[in-house]
Amino acid sequence: MNGQIDNYRFKGLRQQLVSSIRAKGIRNERILKAMLDIPRHCFLDEAFAEWAYKDTAFPISSGQTISQPFTVARQTELLEVRKGDKILEVGTGSGYQACVLAALGAKVYTVERHEELFMKTAKLLPTIGFNQVRTLLGDGYEGAERFAPFDKILVTAACNLIPKTLVHQLKDGGIMVIPVGNGEDQQMLKLAKHGEQIEIKEHGHYRFVPMLGGVATHA
Ligand code: SAH
């Protein structure tokens, strides 16, 4: 394979992908630029590189999926990422979403429960220029107490309830974006924390793989 021709071809496919995401309503140019720059094919097994640039979720190892690019863009948009934000992502998976956040200038901590996937992604990120993303192995229901509080928290697996621990680890004035619901249908929630008050807004239906493990307690 000729790497340079490949890079050129993938860049073209990325431009098409970003155009389709823009057409679906994402207008934040910083997010679109990040997605234009990040080589999404590197997050899939090589044989499936072409699939990286279709706007669809796709299986990665360990029975998990890399989120649909539109969903990545939408969750990122809802999170209102600012340069320097300290963000916790729950559900590292392939690491693609974490890299999109990092490309926007956030300081990213991402936690994955599946050890094999954690190892694979922790190894991959420095090879594609994202050594600043902090990958953690653990149960996302517990958040990452050691590094809390966070300006933003992004959950990329479906929760039955809003985990109380995560709300605690959010700064006052912070935002959490989390898909909540059973089975195959989740409502995308955006929580804004104002002291003891939590404002919750619904942002439409999505379908995520479930959060596994710990028992969530209501916030
Ligand atoms: N953000 C990912 C896609 C996430 S898919 C990406 O960009 O590719 C959801 C991920 O959540 C899976 O990798 C799954 O293993 C992980 N997960 C499920 N339950 C978890 C838990 N309790 N704690 C941390 N990660 C969890």
pLDDT classification of 214: cutoffs 50, 70, 90: low
Q: Residues enclosing ligand 1, CB less than 6 A?
A: 64-67, 90-91, 93-94, 96-97, 111-114, 117, 139-141, 156-157, 209, 211-214
Ligand 1, from 211, 215, 217: best to mutate by most atoms within 8 Å of Cβ? 211
**Whether 173 contacts 194, CB under 8 Å:** yes
Written as one string, the DSSP assignment of 142-203 is G--GGG--EEEEEE-SBBSS-BHHHHHTEEEEEEEEEEE-STT-EEEEEEEEETTEEEEEEE
Answer whether residue 129 is part of any domain: yes
Strands (E), 3-106: 58-59, 65-66, 86-90
Q: Is the pLDDT of residue 216 over 80?
A: no
Q: What percentage of the chain carries pLDDT values higher than 90?
A: 85
Answer whether residue 4 is part of any domain: no
**Domain hosting residue 135, numbered range:** 55-206
**Model pLDDT for residues 8-58, shown as the tens digit of each residue:** 889 999 999 999 999 999 999 999 999 999 999 999 998 888 899 999 999
Residue with CA at minimum distance from ligand 1 atom 17 = 91
Which atom of ligand 1 lies closest to the CA of 117?
A: 13
Which atom of ligand 1 lies closest to the CA of 98?
A: 7
Ligand 1 mean position to 44 CA, how many Å?
15
Amino acid at the residue 95: G
* CATH code of the domain in which 135 resides: 3.40.50.150
Distance CA 19, CA 23 (A): 6
For 81, other C-beta atoms within 10 Å of its C-beta total: 26
SS3 216: coil
Answer whether residue 50 is part of any domain: no
Ligand 1 mean position to 132 CA, how many Å?
20
Answer whether residue 40 is part of any domain: no
Answer whether residue 182 is part of any domain: yes
Answer whether residue 76 is part of any domain: yes
Answer whether residue 109 is part of any domain: yes
Answer whether residue 25 is part of any domain: no
Distance CA 162, CA 191 (A): 10
* Spatial CB neighbours of 112, under 8 Å, sequence gap ≥ 6: 91, 92, 93, 118, 121, 135, 136, 137, 138, 140
**Model pLDDT for residues 131-150, shown as the tens digit of each residue:** 999 999 999 999 999 999 99
Catalytic residue among 19, 61, 67, 94: 67
Ligand 1 mean position to 158 CA, how many Å?
9
Parallel, antiparallel or unpaired: strands 170-180 and 150-155 = parallel
Ligand 1 mean position to 137 CA, how many Å?
11
* pTM of this structure: 0.95
Cis peptide before 149 (omega within 30 of 0): yes
Is 67 noted as a catalytic residue in this protein?
A: yes
Looking at the structure of the chain, the number of domains it has is 1
